[in-house]
Amino acid sequence: MKVAVYGQAYSDNALDYVLELLDELSSLAAEVYFEKEFYQVLQVSEKLKVYPLFTEAKGLDDTFDMLVSFGGDGTILRAVTYVKNLNIPIVGVNTGRLGFLSTFKKEDVRKVVKEFIAGAYTIVERSLVEVHTHPPTPEFNSLNFALNEVTVSRKDTTSMITVETYLNDDFLTSYWADGLIIATPTGSTGYSLSCGGPVIAPTVKSLILTPIAPHNLNARPLVISDDTEIRLRVSGREEFHLVSLDSRIATLENGTEILVKKASFTIKMIEYTSESFLKTLRNKLLWGEDKRN
């Protein structure tokens, strides 16, 4: 068994749970690799042994059985940039707060290994979106994909922007708003949800267009097929606007053509039998939390 361990945020007791995972893996004589920066953060303790490291430059390969992410959902979004199209399954141990992607409780970290070995899980494929711009945007380079959403938003102004939107070259509308979110089903529980978008099950083949604080109040979130190509062009009082892919942000000049479409590969998420998507909705969104129930 070959396992990659990744994390970003560090809490006082995160090391304790990492050590529990390592203890469980050692009983299987598993090969363990650490992301370099996370490993350096954890080296506050002499309890951590020496492990081989990986970085963005010296990355992973398709021989890994899983990647374990310690942190919140943002950590998993960052982990995706290491996994890319290698088909390495990801599981998140939640040391953050909400956690729609990072669902495993840190107190149950040993079960990550035990239930994997027992086969008490399924692999759920999560679709991504990718961005192409004309002219090209060097900030995105080869990391031009997002698991949650692509967001176009205003920059250096309190004025709204106009987002001219085409679906498969057919004009949809011009959103007059603070911005526009194009979310995957995975991202439907993120920024899009905060802006009034619907919750979509992870396996549904769709994308969501959610305007951010639209001035034309009849502009509602729209669910479309995920084989749709979305073309955007932004105008406004300022010369530039922002485009973000999950947590990666670039500044684009107004008038730049932005093409958003479904990526050619998927991310494999490990969904344990004990931690289903519906259970996560009940726990995180407090569905059914009513004194009358």
Distance CA 160, CA 219 (A): 14
**Eight-state DSSP code of residue 143:** -
Write out the two tokens for 54: 């990986």
pLDDT at position 11: 63
Distance CA 194, CA 249 (A): 19
Residue from 73, 178, 226, 290 carrying the catalytic annotation: 73
Reported as a pLDDT band with limits 50, 70 and 90, residue 275 is: confident
pLDDT surpassing 90 at residue 15 = no
pLDDT at position 56: 84
pLDDT surpassing 70 at residue 12 = no
pLDDT per position as a tens digit, 120-137: 999 999 999 999 999 888
Residue 73 annotated in active site: yes
Reported as a pLDDT band with limits 50, 70 and 90, residue 208 is: very high
**Eight-state DSSP code of residue 9:** -
pLDDT at position 293: 62
| Residue range 156-180: mean pLDDT, rounded | 96
Write out the two tokens for 109: 């970290």
Residue-range domains of the chain with CATH: 2-120+273-284 (3.40.50.10330), 129-263 (2.60.200.30)
pLDDT per position as a tens digit, 139-150: 888 789 999 999
What is this structure's pTM?
0.90
DSSP 13-71: THHHHHHHHHHHHHTTT-EEEEEHHHHHHHTTSTTS----EE-SSS---TT-SEEEEEE
DSSP the chain: -EEEEEE----TTHHHHHHHHHHHHHTTT-EEEEEHHHHHHHTTSTTS----EE-SSS---TT-SEEEEEE-HHHHHHHHHHHTTS---EEEEE-SSS-SS--EEGGGHHHHHHHHHHT-EEEEEEEEEEEEEES--TTTTT--EESSEEEEEE-S-SS-EEEEEEETTEEEEEEEESEEEEE-TGGGGTHHHHTTPPP--TTS-EEEEEEES-SSTT---EEEETT--EEEEEE-SSSEEEEEETTEEEEEETT-EEEEEEEEEEEEEEEETTS-HHHHHHHHS-TT--TT-
pLDDT at position 10: 66
pLDDT per position as a tens digit, 41-74: 888 767 788 999 999 888 899 999 999 999 888 8
Reported as a pLDDT band with limits 50, 70 and 90, residue 105 is: confident
| Residue range 209-215: mean pLDDT, rounded | 96
